[in-house]
Structure 1
Amino acid sequence: MTKPEATPIHFIAEGALDGAGLSGPQLAWAKANSFSGQRGRLLALPDSDSGIAGWLFGLGNTTSRSPFLAGQASANLPEGTYALAGEIEDPTLAAIAFRLGAYRFDRYRQAKPSPVLVLPEGADEDEVDRQVEAATLARDLISTPANDLGPDALEKAARDFARRNGMTVHVTVGDDLLSANFPMIHAVGRASAQAPRLIDLTWGDPSHPKVTLVGKGVTFDTGGLDIKPAAGMLMMKKDMGGAANILGLAHTIVSANLPVRLRVLLPVVENAIAGSAFRPGDILRSRAGLTVEIGNTDAEGRLILADALTLADEESPDLVVDMATLTGAARVALGPDLPAIYSSDDTVASQVVAAGATVEDPLWHMPLWSNYDSQLNSKIADLNNVGTGGYAGSVIAALFLRRFVKNAKAWLHMDIFAWVNEARPGRPVGATDQGIRAVYTMLRERYGK
């Protein structure tokens, strides 16, 4: 098939302009505009008809160079069809970055055409498609406001996803959560006009290693009766970012046909305020049988995750991965770009951190510091849902979740932000994917495909 005519983007390392193969006039133009390959700089090359013959894009020096910089180029290019040229260390990753940088969420405004990329030589088209589709799925869901993505709509999105991917679906809704023994999911979501639910998707050969993904699906978080201030609620449509990213991760696994038995568990609620809302000081019984004193209703994500993790743990899976926009403490410690991870298995943690580093999906391994476990003590229940010391909030949340994982061979908890406040290569401002590429790459290496 004939490729469409594409405008070239010349990737040029800092100091390598003279050897970039540009024509004499182009080289003179670049130097006249002080272009030397500075990291992230984009410069149009004029043609003889006052049009654009191509673009120069700076890669910076060797220490700052990354294939993912292509995502910064696409974020600033006008509509058109483009081809990458010059120094491209990883054409697949560069193509993923370019397409992710061109992402737009246009559901509520007139769509603007995004730049289109002709895949560079050596790029794996299937891999590019699955990674971009996974990230786009997560970003679109997170970007959608709660009036259009409450528990009902998130369930529909999960069902549509399951249908497209040949997955089986079972959903437990409302008071059926009580009879099915998911009391904390019910308690957190019962004040909403839309009932709480647990979505359970399965796919793959039952004889293959069992991998279970769990995603926090709080479609909006008021904080409950411990209500957030107005500024704290502005981005709380993204509190289902864990569920969104888990669906994106599931897409990569199914699309790549990894040899695993995949299970996806999404506890989905709105943490609303009404007469039926759970209260500070309440004691909830969990699926695991542990009683939990509520020290703060705004620490609701760990409650719904606990019931879902208990269910995941009951079949002793090979690996459980959960993702959640769980704590502000993780952002204070590591900032918005670097999710904190915790694991019962240091080998798994090191593998996923290493995988993330190779695909520009950074993660940081934090300790499950058992000395802090006593901060979850309660005088009248088995544990409290918040710590008593006011420190290490992300560690305390992870220790809370650890109480509900006993049988899984390995457990990985990811405390993500799912949002970009300042644009990064391949990550425009707004909702974002985090952890998908890292975990998928680790799973592909772990299970031999």
Structure 2
Amino acid sequence: MTLTFAPAGSDALPLHVLEPAGLEAWLEDQPEATRAWVAANGFQADLGSALMIPGPDGRPVAGLMGYGTEAARRRGRFALAGAVGRLGQGPWRIANNLPGGRIEEEALGWLLAGYRFARYAGRVPEMPQLVAPEGVDAARIETLAASEALIRDLVNTPASDMGPEELEAVARSLATQFGAAIEVTTGDALLEQNFPMIHAVGRASPRAPRLIDLRWGARGPRLTLVGKGVCFDTGGLNLKSGASMGLMKKDMGGAANVLGLARSIMALDLPVQLRVLIPAVENSVSGSAFRPQDILTSRKGLTVEINNTDAEGRLVLADALALADEEKPDLLLSMATLTGAARVAVGPDLAPFYTGDEAFAAALSRASGPAADPVWRMPFWDPYEEKIEPGIADLDNAPAGGMAGSITAALFLRRFVTDTPRYAHFDIYSWQPAPATARPKGGLGQGPRAILAALPEVLGL
């Protein structure tokens, strides 16, 4: 599957993208045969509609695509993508200026409409190709599409083929592709290198836990990305129900998203010193599994009382964040499919994030809309700190009460970032529960495009 634009020199057919209010004016300049054809087909330029215009020999000579109203477009993303499959193969070139000036978003959506996960069954249908619209940075848009496809592929792949070792292989492949350095600490070496909580969470599985550490770039500010790589989560001894376990192949969505973001950063050659840390584990059940009421000592030296083995993601992230914090990067970001509470709070479409950095929060929010990558700021609410303090250890990994679960998880992680002023945590879903334009049901990137767009302002690139 290649999500790319048609070559610039292609003999492309013109595609007229029209709002309902502009259809009549366009028709006035068309020959009678075209006006009759549009009327006979009932084309009204509604969002998601498309119509081929035939020439005298019956072959298409142009196309129409409905862009709907601004109100209709505000209810979703990638407005054009919903109609791409209704066109012939083309290739096509957009012949007019799009109302609203969202050409980059629509160009990306067109490419993403061609994504399918067909590793195990089916085939990827050939989608109509588009010539990169004038003024669009085609290489950048293709990079964003390829990075999103990587995220989706990783999340969609079942745990049988995407365990810690396979996740490491993907990171190694990216390192080779972009000339990055990579080190991996595996199995009992995690204890020797002082990553006790990563080891504790992963030790019950025959698939050895590991910490993946990728570095790229030798100039510019230091950016560190930490992604939760729980390749499958049974819940451990606090075993999940079958229904709750059904989607746990996606519990490495944080790792997938930081790898997708890292891929974009490296492909676009941003002037940063990039580091990617991924604690990769499988939270399984065996005689060596960590237990409720165990107390673990973290890399940071903080002790953690285990009140639910199903709150394991924050444990592996904590050791990785502690390592990242030792280097005091200019910006530290963590991404994880961490809590169901975040889904209750904002649903599946928004990526909630936590930060105490006002400049980062503002830049990210501004970048989010144009990047078609919605985010929503949540609070590091200091009065809830006492909820994560159990009394017989420094921290509680699963506070009782059931309230503010996403906030308390974020506060837990913040305890491991003490020397890095600029830190943000993303509690993402990384899953599209029902098909939408340019987003088939399945794995999804949430946050990387908004972060990428915000980095120049945030880091002064």
Whether these two folds match at TM > 0.5 is yes
The residue aligned with 1:157 is 170
**Pair 80,272 (structure 1): closer, same or farther in 2 beyond 3 Å:** farther
1:261 paired to 2:267: no
1:131 equivalent among 138, 144, 149: 144
Shift of 1:371: 1.1
Q: Distance in 1 between matches of 2:143 and 2:460?
A: 18
One-letter code aligned to 2:138: E
One-letter code aligned to 1:350: A
The residue aligned with 2:4 is none
The residue aligned with 1:72 is 82
**Pair 320,232 (structure 1): closer, same or farther in 2 beyond 3 Å:** same
Shift of 1:48: 4.0
Spell out the pairing of 1:37-186 with structure 2 (5 A cutoff). 37-65=45-73, 68-74=78-84, 77=87, 79=89, 81-88=91-98, 89-115=101-127, 116-186=129-199
The residue aligned with 1:363 is 375
**Pair 8,280 (structure 1): closer, same or farther in 2 beyond 3 Å:** farther
1:402 paired to 2:431: no
**Pair 96,22 (structure 1): closer, same or farther in 2 beyond 3 Å:** farther
Spell out the pairing of 1:327-346 with structure 2 (5 A cutoff). 327-346=339-358
Spell out the pairing of 1:420-439 with structure 2 (5 A cutoff). 420-439=432-451
Alpha-carbon contact 1:419-1:432 (below 8 Å) kept: yes
TM-score by length of 1: 0.95
Q: Which moved more, 1:36-45 or 1:298-307?
A: 36-45
SS in 1 for 2:231: strand
Q: Distance in 2 between matches of 1:75 and 1:343?
A: 40
Q: Distance in 2 between matches of 1:249 and 1:349?
A: 18
Alpha-carbon contact 1:220-1:240 (below 8 Å) kept: yes
Q: Distance in 2 between matches of 1:3 and 1:269?
A: 48
**Pair 357,218 (structure 1): closer, same or farther in 2 beyond 3 Å:** same
Q: Distance in 1 between matches of 2:385 and 2:114?
A: 44
Shift of 1:121: 1.8
TM-score by length of 2: 0.92
Q: Distance in 2 between matches of 1:200 and 1:331?
A: 29
Alpha-carbon contact 1:104-1:114 (below 8 Å) kept: no
Spell out the pairing of 1:180-259 with structure 2 (5 A cutoff). 180-205=193-218, 208-259=220-271
**Pair 338,17 (structure 1): closer, same or farther in 2 beyond 3 Å:** same
**Pair 383,84 (structure 1): closer, same or farther in 2 beyond 3 Å:** same
The percent of aligned pairs where both chains have the same amino acid is: 49
1:285 paired to 2:301: no
1:440 paired to 2:440: no
Q: Distance in 2 between matches of 1:430 and 1:22?
A: 42
Shift of 1:130: 1.3
SS in 2 for 1:60: coil
Q: Distance in 2 between matches of 1:258 and 1:112?
A: 32
Alpha-carbon contact 1:189-1:271 (below 8 Å) kept: yes
1:28 paired to 2:41: no
SS in 1 for 2:426: strand
SS in 1 for 2:18: strand
Q: Distance in 2 between matches of 1:26 and 1:65?
A: 27
Q: Distance in 1 between matches of 2:425 and 2:216?
A: 22
Q: Distance in 1 between matches of 2:84 and 2:253?
A: 25
Shift of 1:44: 3.7
The residue aligned with 1:16 is 22
Shift of 1:47: 4.3
Deviation string, structure 1 residues 203-230 (Cα, Å, up to 9, x no partner)? 111x521110000111111111111111
**Pair 294,87 (structure 1): closer, same or farther in 2 beyond 3 Å:** same
Q: Distance in 2 between matches of 1:62 and 1:221?
A: 42
One-letter code aligned to 2:64: L
Q: Distance in 2 between matches of 1:370 and 1:75?
A: 49
Alpha-carbon contact 1:103-1:114 (below 8 Å) kept: no
Shift of 1:75: 5.1
RMSD, aligned α-carbons = 1.9
Alpha-carbon contact 1:10-1:55 (below 8 Å) kept: yes
Alpha-carbon contact 1:172-1:197 (below 8 Å) kept: yes
Q: Distance in 2 between matches of 1:394 and 1:26?
A: 56
Shift of 1:64: 3.7
One-letter code aligned to 2:11: E
**Pair 52,223 (structure 1): closer, same or farther in 2 beyond 3 Å:** farther
One-letter code aligned to 2:227: G
SS in 1 for 2:16: strand
SS in 2 for 1:264: strand
Shift of 1:33: 3.5
Alpha-carbon contact 1:216-1:240 (below 8 Å) kept: yes
Alpha-carbon contact 2:8-2:132 (below 8 Å) kept: no
One-letter code aligned to 1:142: V
Alpha-carbon contact 2:220-2:272 (below 8 Å) kept: yes
4+ runs deviating over 6 angstroms: none
Shift of 1:232: 1.3
Q: How many residues align?
A: 448
**Pair 25,391 (structure 1): closer, same or farther in 2 beyond 3 Å:** farther
Alpha-carbon contact 1:259-1:447 (below 8 Å) kept: no
Shift of 1:125: 1.4
Gaps of 5+ in 2: 1-6
One-letter code aligned to 1:335: G
Alpha-carbon contact 1:18-1:27 (below 8 Å) kept: no
Q: Which moved more, 1:112-121 or 1:346-355?
A: 112-121
Q: Which moved more, 1:422-431 or 1:243-252?
A: 422-431
Q: Which moved more, 1:361-370 or 1:253-262?
A: 253-262
Q: Distance in 1 between matches of 2:440 and 2:123?
A: 16
Shift of 1:299: 0.9
Alpha-carbon contact 1:74-1:99 (below 8 Å) kept: no
Shift of 1:238: 0.9
